[in-house]
A and B are shown apart, each in its own frame.
Chain A
Amino acid sequence: MAQLRVNPTRMELKKIQARYDTARRGHKLLKDKRDELMKKFLDIVREDKVLRERVEAGLAGIYRSFAVASAVTGHEIMVESLIMPGREVALDVGYKNLMSVTVPEFRAEILGDGGAAVFNYGLAFTSGELDASLRELAALLPYLIRMAELEKAAQLLAGEIEKTRRRVNALEYIIIPQYLETMKSIRMKLEENERGNTTRLMKVKDMMIEKKIMSKRRDAEEE
């Protein structure tokens, strides 16, 4: 395992110990963040799945009755009837903060006059199928908008989760082991130095004692 290249001193050891503590704390926080993001994300996706199924089923029905209307009245008249809508939909966008991810919230506002304006054409040349399918489509609008909101949130959260997960893994499998390894090696080096020191002292003491014994012996011989 890789370790940092630092001088094996007590000062470096203290520094790395502090960094290790920070990394541990950061790792725990990020892990909590990831779990919470995941929970929110899954809630959103579950709701979105239900909504999308409903929207897709609704749209399939609408396309069918559109095809019928188109067959009955002819394509040109259809286009003519629809090309000038009586209303315009505008979105008011708010922002929500979901675990530090900014997520848009949509509120639709329908400009032009309300319900009747969906049918902005004379009823004489168009078929009843068209009216019905347009009414269904108008009813589907709130779901469409909610679905867009949810899917956008899901996209943004998925990106954030991916980023957070990468950070958590980097801390867990690279940074923290690296610090541990480095601290261990510094401790070992320091202990080694300590032992070397002790041995040296013992050796010096031995030499001193030997010298003393020799000098005492010499004194005894001279007398």
Chain B
Amino acid sequence: MYKIGIIGERDSVLGFMSLGFSVHEVSDAGEAAGVLHKLVNSGEYAIIFIVENLAERLAGEIEAAKYHELTLPAIISLPGNSANTGYGMSAIKNAVKRAVGADIIFNKD
């Protein structure tokens, strides 16, 4: 049995407590990176949600640690309480670009 974790600022992640996620409050990207590595290495988590503004700043770190190549956990960004950056959508867009070589799904918008 695996857990679902969520990393983000207090206001964004508070509600997820009620769902039974294991909530990790952080105040900045540095702290978030530490928590992320700890969660991934613990091996207890199958999904780790990260609030978008933090996910954007952690992108380089995630790339360097090659977490994308692991089967577990899935590291997914979610929009937060404030400053919805659209990073989650652009991450898929980038995956399409990487795989296909051109953006063929999102070019409409």
Q: Which residues of A contact B (CB under 8 A)?
A: 38, 41-42, 45-46, 48-49, 52, 55-56, 59-60, 62-63, 66-67, 70, 78-79, 82-83, 85, 87-93, 95, 102-104, 106, 108-112, 118-120, 133-134, 137-138, 141, 144-145, 147-149, 151-152, 154-159, 161-162, 165
Query: In the bound complex, do residue A157 and residue B14 qualify as a contact, i.e. CB atoms below 8 Å apart?
Result: no
A91 touches B20 (CB 8 A): no
B 1-12 binary contact with A (CB < 8 Å = 1; else 0): 111100000011
- How far does the alpha carbon of A83 sit from the alpha carbon of B17 in the complex, in Å? 7
Q: Is there an interface contact between B72 and A104, defined as CB atoms closer than 8 Å? A: yes
Docked-complex contact B18 and A120, CB < 8 angstroms: yes
Q: Are B71 and A95 in contact, with the CB atoms below 8 A?
A: yes
The reply to whether A155 and B95 contact each other, CB–CB distance below 8 Å, is: yes
Please tell me if the beta carbons of A137 and B18 are within 8 angstroms of each other in the complex: yes
Contact yes or no, B18 A138, CB < 8 A: yes
Inside 8 A of A152's CB, which chain B residues have their CB? Answer: 74, 76
Tell me the interface secondary structure of chain A in the complex: helix
Report the minimal beta-carbon distance from B64 to chain A, rounded to whole angstroms: 15
Q: Which residues of A contact B12 (CB under 8 A)?
A: 63
CB pairs A–B below 8 angstroms (16 shown): A38-B99, A42-B96, A62-B15, A63-B12, A70-B11, A90-B2, A93-B46, A102-B71, A118-B18, A133-B15, A137-B18, A144-B49, A145-B4, A148-B76, A156-B69, A165-B101
- Given A104-B71, A137-B18, A141-B19: A162 in contact with B99 (beta carbons within 8 A): yes
Report A-chain residues with C-beta under 8 Å of the C-beta of B2: 90-93
CB-CB contacts below 8 Å: B69-109 with A: 69, 71-72, 74, 76, 78-81, 84, 88-89, 91-92, 95-96, 98-101, 104-106
Q: CB within 8 Å of A: which residues of B?
A: 1-4, 11-12, 14-21, 46-47, 49, 68-69, 71-72, 74, 76, 78-81, 84, 88-89, 91-92, 95-96, 98-101, 104-106
* A158 and B14 contact, Cβ closer than 8 Å, known pairs A88-B20, A91-B46, A93-B2: no
Instruction: Check if B95 sits within 8 Å of A158, measured CB to CB.
Output: yes
Contacts of B105 in A (CB 8 A): 42, 45-46, 49
- Ranked nearest first, the 8 interchain pairs of A and B with the lowest CB-CB distance are A152-B74, A89-B20, A88-B20, A158-B99, A161-B99, A90-B1, A158-B95, A91-B2
CB neighbours (8 Å) of A83 from chain B are 17
Q: Which residues of chain B have C-beta atoms less than 8 A from A158's C-beta?
A: 95-96, 98-99
Partner of A91, one of B19, B47, B88: B47
